[in-house]
Homo-oligomer: A and B are copies of this chain.
């Protein structure tokens, strides 16, 4: 299997490492230093800054920031045979899949849920996807055999694959990933001015804001590309927050306890649920 990876950051380089010894990997990155490092480390067997080195690949993965994916995939296609599978690793899917679905019938979107705070080649690791979820999102024109190959590809990387409609993916991610990040980002402003006692951050704050250290360019793209869904969710969130504020203002202890019980039970239910990982397809 010949695999081209476009973008040797955390995700791209981790794919290359995960497939080490089982695929011939071509690495493409506009940063020539990173390509050289990856060649030197034996993470890729050939590479360069130009998309043309992807020629002859069976599978090409575009592992770039969300807003760069569509253009890169279009340019990449010129160098590939029509049977080559193109996929990507963007955190939003509706816009990317609708742009590429009819353009390349062997395109299937992907979203490996395996982020870390540290971006970049140096943070990559062979087991980044092991046991983690990857959502594969075919568009209406995607060929069945290409979908199958995309699923197998991510399973080869170690992931548990779920197939999902790209719009449903974005709705789900708005709630379970993008909103938590947005709220965490917005929270940092509150605390930035405090003469903070660093030894005291154990009080829930550390976990709550861990995700606020995410890569700004990556999150700029995510927030913009999923903004309609996010703005709708943000309105719902503010309504929910407002019901808590009202109960606090009124000193309505019973109401508050009921709302907190519901939140706590919902969370506890998920915590248990999260332990039985399964392939949901």
Hey, which bits of chain A sit against chain B, CB under 8 A? 113-115, 132-133, 135, 160, 162, 172-173, 175-177, 179-192, 194, 196-217, 219-220, 223-224, 227, 230-231, 233-234, 236-238, 240-241, 244-245, 248-249, 251, 253, 256-257, 259-264, 266-268, 270-271, 273-274, 276-280
Contacts and interface: CB of A to CB of B under 8 A. Distances in A.
A257 B172 CA distance: 24
A211 to B, nearest CB: 4
A270 B133 contact: no
Contact of A189 (B200, B201, B240): B240
Contact of A194 (B114, B175, B204, B215): B175
Contacts of A274: 198-199, 201, 206
B133 A200 contact: yes
Nearest to A235: B245
Nearest to A278: B199
A46 to B, nearest CB: 33
A240 to B, nearest CB: 4
Contacts of A237: 186-187, 190
A174 to B, nearest CB: 9
Contacts of A233: 190
